[in-house]
Amino acid sequence: MGKIHELDNVLANQIAAGEVIERPASIIKELVENSLDARSKRIDIIVTKAGLGELRVIDDGIGIAEDDVKEAFKRHATSKINTRQDLFRVQTMGFRGEALPSIASVADVLMTTSTGGDAGTMIHLHGGKMTDFAPAPARRGTDVTVKELFFNTPARLKYLKSPHTELSRMVDIIDRLALANPDVAISFTHDGKELFRSAGNGNLQQVIAAIYGVKAGRKMLLIQGEDNDFQISGYVSLPELTRASRQYMTITINHRYVRNYQLSKAIIDGYGSKLMVGRYPIVVINIDLDPLLVDVNVHPAKREVRLSKEPQLSLLISDTIRRQIAKQNLIPDVGDKA
């Protein structure tokens, strides 16, 4: 017998989980993205002990039919793409079919789901092994509870930071998801206390105010710009309203939060000399573009994307911001003495 053999499924999933599920916040990201892909209008996130107790995401989306429930927990099983062509035109947040099997391989997972007919399904997995599968109430949507995170990967568990840090990473991800999806009502409750709620009425400025404060919400300028390939829209803060870190800038591409150094730099360039050294604006912009212009399959967690025509987009971003700020300066009495 040769020395080379295929890894068993649970082990393969645990290895994949190493890339996708780094910490409690990654679970929230993956579950909420699934809820968004399921066209949910309302998503409630309930966590205890910074994720080391329980992480629960409840949505009112399309649910999973009974026949598909076990499939959803298989690796590379997805309803979101079929062909190679689809991969170049991804419109959904997910497509790799890795999140659910990865999560299930390193935790205890209970899911109840229903497509809204007269039945629902419950599935329970522990460390990647199914322990229960049964009918459940027919409430349309999906409810996933994750417990005992990293119980079987002690190194991962040890690597986690303090509860305070893990919680703030969760808050950060939830903020970005809410900013990227103002038309979805998202709530976050931690240890019984509601920390965040968005109305889901499509009003981005309101979401900004809910996250960065009402005062900040009032000092935002609406921006809009487009060229042949890109449409950008969102809010940027008046130059008088700045923060000491770049993390208050949120860029989404087709409503997916991404980190991109060049595009962040383009935003700052748009302010020209109006920003003091070491100060950064509060910005939330979305860029709509043909999915063919962006490769989202660069990073397992899809934080980074590769863009064609990045220089052209950078120019559009800085020009749009520059113009809007210049216009603002022509209006007397905006009270930018603060």
- Can you give the binding site for ligand ADP, defined by CB under 6 A? 30, 34-35, 38, 59, 61-64, 72, 78-80, 94-100, 142
**What's the min distance (Å) between Cβ of 72 and ligand ADP?**
3
Residue 225 binding target from ligand ADP, Mg ion, none, CB below 5 to 8 Å by type: none
DSSP one-letter code for 291: G
**What's the min distance (Å) between Cβ of 114 and ligand ADP?**
10
The SS3 of residue 238 is: coil
Residue 114 binding target from Mg ion, ligand ADP, none, CB below 5 to 8 Å by type: none
**What's the min distance (Å) between Cβ of 143 and ligand ADP?**
9
The token pair that represents 169 in the structure block: 């990473």
| Residue (32 or 316) nearer to Mg ion, CB | 32
Where does this chain bind Mg ion (CB under 5 A)?
Answer: 34, 94, 99
Q: How many CB atoms lie within 10 A of CB 327?
A: 10
Residue 142 binding target from ligand ADP, Mg ion, none, CB below 5 to 8 Å by type: ligand ADP
| Residue (30 or 44) nearer to ligand ADP, CB | 30
| Residue (62 or 253) nearer to ligand ADP, CB | 62
| Residue (94 or 234) nearer to Mg ion, CB | 94
Residues 6 or more apart in contact with residue 156 via CB below 8 angstroms: 18, 106, 150
| Residue (37 or 316) nearer to ligand ADP, CB | 37
**What's the min distance (Å) between Cβ of 230 and Mg ion?**
26
Residue 250 binding target from Mg ion, ligand ADP, none, CB below 5 to 8 Å by type: none
**What's the min distance (Å) between Cβ of 30 and Mg ion?**
5
Listed in sequence order, the DSSP H helices in the chain are 9-20, 24-37, 66-72, 84-87, 99-105, 154-159, 163-180, 204-212, 214-218, 261-271, 310-330
For residue 174, CA distances in Å to 18, 129, 142 come to 21, 29, 18
**Measured between alpha carbons, how far is 318 from 267 in angstroms, rounded to an integer?**
5
**What's the min distance (Å) between Cβ of 42 and ligand ADP?**
12
**Measured between alpha carbons, how far is 318 from 236 in angstroms, rounded to an integer?**
11
For residue 186, CA distances in Å to 175, 282, 303, 307 come to 9, 21, 21, 29
Position closest to ligand ADP via CB: 94
| Residue (35 or 254) nearer to ligand ADP, CB | 35
**What's the burial of 126, exposed, middle or buried (CB within 10 Å: 0-12/13-18/19+)?**
middle
Q: In this structure, are residues 55 and 27 in contact, taking their beta carbons and an 8 Å threshold? A: yes
